[in-house]
Structure 1
Amino acid sequence: MITVRHVLNQKPRHLHHIHPDATVRDALKTMAEHNIGALVVMDDGHVAGVITERDYARKIVLMGRTSLETPVREIMTRRVIFARPEQSVEESLAVMTARTVRHLPVLDQNTVIGLVSIGDLVKAVIADKQFIIEQLETYIQGDNR
């Protein structure tokens, strides 16, 4: 069973985050600089929310607002769903599908230790399945020698 901790260990260790009073433009700039689709919104060391490209598209662009003046706190998702490091990738994918989210902050003993995306989890599942296939092929070829 592949866990969320395993997925986090394959990623760079830096957690990108932003303050709720920062502008949406600042959030977008940070996401673009790091080629990521979401940021954890942190206020005084605590998770206040998550801001995603989807939040921007739906709450700025479609509503005719401006990213230059709007603070992150006005469009962030406040009801954050977390993953646990020991949680399986399959369970995390099920939660993401059921809640229609694409990013999960990972909480370990009340501390955010990372953020996983649906892409990170799918990549881990594919790599695991490929490993199993290769092991089975090796086993089958070994029996035919």
Structure 2
Amino acid sequence: MKKVADILARKQRDLISVAPSHTVLDALKIMSDNNIGSILVQEDDKYLGIMTERDYARKVILKGKSSTDTIVEEIMSTDLPRISPDTSIEECMQLMSVNNIRYLPVFNEQQLMGIVSVNDVIKAVITTQAETISHLQSYIHS
């Protein structure tokens, strides 16, 4: 059974973050520059939450707020379930489905390790299925 550690091993290890006092526009520019849909919110290397594209759409755009006047702290998600590198891919899927979320912060004890996205989980499932198919084909043809 694949674990979050397997996903993290394949991902870029740089943790991209903004301070809660940054403007939403600044955070969006960083997200765009790095081709990511969420960004960690940290202050003095302490995890505070995650700002996502969904946060932006629902808490800024749909409320008629300005991206230049709104700070990240006002819209970030702070109540996301935390997972560990030992969490299974199946458990990630369950958490994402039940909570209707697309991102999960990964912690090893109290240390932030990264973010797992729904796309990361889908890729892991597809990879596992492809490996299973390959093994079954090898078994059938041997």
Give the structure-2-normalised TM-score.
0.97
Any unmatched runs of 5+ in structure 2?
none
Amino acid in structure 1 at the alignment position of 2:110: N
- What's the CA shift for 1:90? 0.6
- What's the CA shift for 1:80? 2.7
Supply the distance in 2 between the matched residues of 1:129 and 1:80 (Cα, whole angstroms).
28
Supply the distance in 2 between the matched residues of 1:13 and 1:85 (Cα, whole angstroms).
13
- What's the CA shift for 1:43? 1.6
Residue by residue, what CA displacement relative to the aligned partner does 1:28-84 show, whole Å, maximum 9, x if unpaired?
A: 011111111001111222111110000000011000000011110001112132111
| Structure-1 residue corresponding to 2:115 | 115
Give the structure-1-normalised TM-score.
0.95
Q: Secondary structure at the match of 1:35?
A: coil
For 1:125-140, what aligned pairs fall within 5 Å after superposition?
A: 125-140=125-140
Supply the distance in 2 between the matched residues of 1:93 and 1:40 (Cα, whole angstroms).
20
Instruction: Show structure 1 runs of 4+ deviating over 6 A.
Output: none
Supply the distance in 1 between the matched residues of 2:110 and 2:3 (Cα, whole angstroms).
18
For 1:50-61, what aligned pairs fall within 5 Å after superposition?
A: 50-61=50-61
Residue by residue, what CA displacement relative to the aligned partner does 1:109-144 show, whole Å, maximum 9, x if unpaired?
A: 2011111101101110111011010110011011xx
- Count of aligned pairs: 142
1:74 equivalent in alignment to 2:74:
yes
Any unmatched runs of 5+ in structure 1?
none
Amino acid in structure 1 at the alignment position of 2:38: A
Structure showing greater Rg: 1
| Structure-1 residue corresponding to 2:33 | 33
| Structure-2 residue corresponding to 1:106 | 106
| Structure-2 residue corresponding to 1:21 | 21
Alpha-carbon RMSD = 0.8
Amino acid in structure 1 at the alignment position of 2:120: D
Supply the distance in 2 between the matched residues of 1:77 and 1:16 (Cα, whole angstroms).
16
User: Percent identical across equivalent pairs?
Assistant: 40
